[in-house]
């Protein structure tokens, strides 16, 4: 497939605007951030979205949807002039709001009305969405807090490359850790570890540094370079060298 030049060298910045806002104190336990994306495309643009272990609530063109955690990359078409407002929930903390296993939302998009009762917020802005979410706050759930803490540790500790190691750190069996992630994160701990460690690759690609792929594969816990490249392509949609072309370098 011929490459869309709008994907290359940060060219997307000419057609998209991104803004972020932090949640208020009471909601910070459940919400990671609010975000707004606006775009203006004369021709439809195929936007690559790479997976993170968040559940998202989005408001676009009158639709209010919940997007479960993704196990792989997805593409979303942007065309004309548009805006989407979203809520990114903290990984591990959506289970109490859902009232059931987050794994039921894995790789799914559902109408938010199927999960949340009551009238959706209007107008759609941070204040109205916060009022809406404050009305949904559940009772504290220590298991959700534990799941969120485990995910945060995986994200922050670049030395974490094995599920058994993170299970041992939190004094859990691997099976118990897997159940915890199914209930509260929605995707398994192995995939979460892979996603955050492969983020190390994208950071180095963004910096334009020369990479010793064999050494990096070993550092990230892969058997060899081929396994790293295969995982990267599964999660990010293309090989590392092709993905690097998306960055504005120099």
Q: Give per-residue pLDDT as tens, 152-193.
A: 999 999 899 999 999 999 999 999 999 999 999 999 999 999
pLDDT in tens, 218-235: 988 888 999 999 999 999
Looking at domain 5-244, which of 2.40.50.140, 2.60.40.10, 1.10.10.60, 1.10.10.10 is its CATH number? 1.10.10.60
Residue 55 confidence (pLDDT): 98
Average pLDDT for the chain: 93
Among the listed ranges 31-35, 83-87, 180-184, 209-213, which one has the minimum average pLDDT value? 209-213
pLDDT in tens, 201-216: 888 888 888 889 899 8
Query: Which pTM value belongs to this model?
Result: 0.92
Query: Phi and psi at residue 222, in whole multiples of 5°?
Result: -90, 150
Question: Under a CB-based contact definition with an 8 Å cutoff, are residues 59 and 36 in contact?
Answer: no
pLDDT in tens, 101-149: 999 999 999 999 999 988 899 899 999 999 999 999 999 999 999 999 9
Contacts of 28 (CB under 8 A, 6+ apart): 22
Q: How many residues does the structure list for the chain? A: 250
Question: Under a CB-based contact definition with an 8 Å cutoff, are residues 143 and 96 in contact?
Answer: no
């Amino acid at each position: 497939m011929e490459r869309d030049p709008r994907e290359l060298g940060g060219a997307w910045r000419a057609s998209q605007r991104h803004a972020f806002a932090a949640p208020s104190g009471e909601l910070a336990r459940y919400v990671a951030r609010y975000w707004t994306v606006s775009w203006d495309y004369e021709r439809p643009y195929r936007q690559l979205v790479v997976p993170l272990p968040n559940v998202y609530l989005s408001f676009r063109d009158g639709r209010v949807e919940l997007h479960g955690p993704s196990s792989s990359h997805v593409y979303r078409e942007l065309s004309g002039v548009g805006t989407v407002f979203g809520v990114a929930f903290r990984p591990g903390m959506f289970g109490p709001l859902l009232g059931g296993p987050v794994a039921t939302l894995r790789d799914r998009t559902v109408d938010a009305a199927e999960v949340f009762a009551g009238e959706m917020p209007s107008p759609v802005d941070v204040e109205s969405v916060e009022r809406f979410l404050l009305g949904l706050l559940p009772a504290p759930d220590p298991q959700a807090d534990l799941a969120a803490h485990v995910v945060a540790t995986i994200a922050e500790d670049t030395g974490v490359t094995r599920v058994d190691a993170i299970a041992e750190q939190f004094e859990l069996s691997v099976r118990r850790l897997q159940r915890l992630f199914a209930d509260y994160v929605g995707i398994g701990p192995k995939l979460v570890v892979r996603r955050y460690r492969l983020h190390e690759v994208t950071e180095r690609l963004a910096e334009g540094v020369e990479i010793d792929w064999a050494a990096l594969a070993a550092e990230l816990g892969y058997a060899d370079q081929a396994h790293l490249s295969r995982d990267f392509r599964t999660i990010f949609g293309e090989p590392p060298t092709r993905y690097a072309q998306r960055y504005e370098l120099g």
